[in-house]
Amino acid sequence: MVSDQSFHTLCAEREGLLLGSVDNLPGIAFLDRAEDELFRVTQETTGSTAPREAPWGWGISAHAARVAAAMALRTGRAISLMVSNGYGVEAAGLVRRLGEIAQHAIGCAQDPSATYARNWGEGAGKAGKPSSAYVRGTADPNATREKYGFLSSMGHADLVPYLNFMSATDERGEIVHPVQPARHPAADAICLASAACDLVRTALAVCQAHGLDTARTMALAQELHVFSAAADRDADAWALAREKAMQPAG
């Protein structure tokens, strides 16, 4: 059946329906909490003074961490809006950006000499290459590189990963390419869990850079670790089911 509605009208109606059911997405609640925590921490840095015997570059590093927090808050909110409105697949590129922001915040916080902060501003050194910054200091570099590659492919116009996520079959068994906004279990789970974790990582970096107490932020980080692991398992289960469903019959 062909609709006589315009594309933007169809999408707007669908987005309204999805927003009405956003509370059914547990990841949204975690992302909201992570945003609120980073905002709280950033507010506490207002008027902060250098600790005793602070290295000469403390002010630059501490300020750079706050800049990263501002970038992270806007990016996290954009991800939330995109997933809420049914564009989880398209949010993947922003998730990669948020991961880079978190890593830059950590790099600045861990280097009070301000070398990292200056390199970030100049696009030099360890802060100069996004893929290197994303992986730097992670517990499992290989897994982190794999995630970075996946998010990068989804953020660009790479055909195969897009088809793997978005193509579907209709009642006749023919492949179709949905264009209206919709919930996507795997993409939504990956985007929301990753974004929430990176916001909290950024908050911890701001705490470190400014000498703030981390107890409240660490408690949320521990909750998110459990949630993120469950989201990864759900995404893996979806991928296996998807692979089986898309195999040719016969």
Q: Which residue has the higher pLDDT, 54 or 139?
A: 139
Q: For 169-210, what is each residue's pLDDT tens digit?
A: 888 878 889 899 999 888 899 899 999 999 999 999 999 999
pLDDT at 37: 98
Query: What gap in Å lies between CA 250 and CA 241, rounded to an integer?
Result: 17
Q: 138 is in which domain, residue-wise?
A: 25-43+55-245
Above 70 in pLDDT, residue 49? no
* 128 assigned to some structural domain: yes
How far, in Å, CA of 195 to CA of 92, rounded?
10
Q: How far is Cα 153 from Cα 133, in angstroms, rounded to an integer? A: 18
Mean pLDDT lowest for which of 35-44, 123-132, 187-196?
123-132
Residue 4 located in a structural domain: no
Cβ neighbors of 189 (< 8 A, separation 6 or more) are: 27, 231, 232, 234, 235, 238
Say if 32 falls within a structural domain. yes
Residue with tokens 């800049």: 67
Residue 96 tokens read as: 């990669």
> Angle 92-109/141-155 helices, nearest 10 degrees?
140
**Residue 102 belongs to a domain:** yes
Q: Is residue 71 part of a domain?
A: yes
Check pLDDT > 60 for residue 32: yes
Residue 60 within a domain: yes
Q: Is the pLDDT of residue 132 over 60?
A: yes
pLDDT at position 48 is 62
Which tokens is 67 given?
């800049």
In this prediction the pTM is 0.90
Total of domains in the chain: 1
What's the alpha-carbon Rg for the chain, to the nearest Å? 20
Tokens (6 digits) for 200: 């909290």
pLDDT digits (tens, 9 = 90+) for 149-159: 989 998 999 99
Q: Which helix (H) or strand (E) holds 168?
A: strand 168-169
Lowest mean pLDDT among 34-43, 59-68, 139-148: 139-148
Query: Lowest-pLDDT range, 53-67, 87-101, 129-143, 167-181?
Result: 53-67
Confidence of residue 53 (pLDDT cuts 50, 70, 90): low
Tell me, yes or no, whether 9 lies in a domain: no
Q: What is the mean pLDDT of residues 22-26?
A: 85
Model pLDDT for residues 223-248, shown as the tens digit of each residue: 999 999 988 888 888 888 877 776 66
Q: Is residue 17 part of a domain?
A: no
CA distance 191 to 187: 6
Q: What are phi and psi of 249, to 5 degrees?
A: -75, 155
The tokens for 100 are 């880079």
69: left (phi over 0), alpha (psi -120 to 50) or beta: alpha
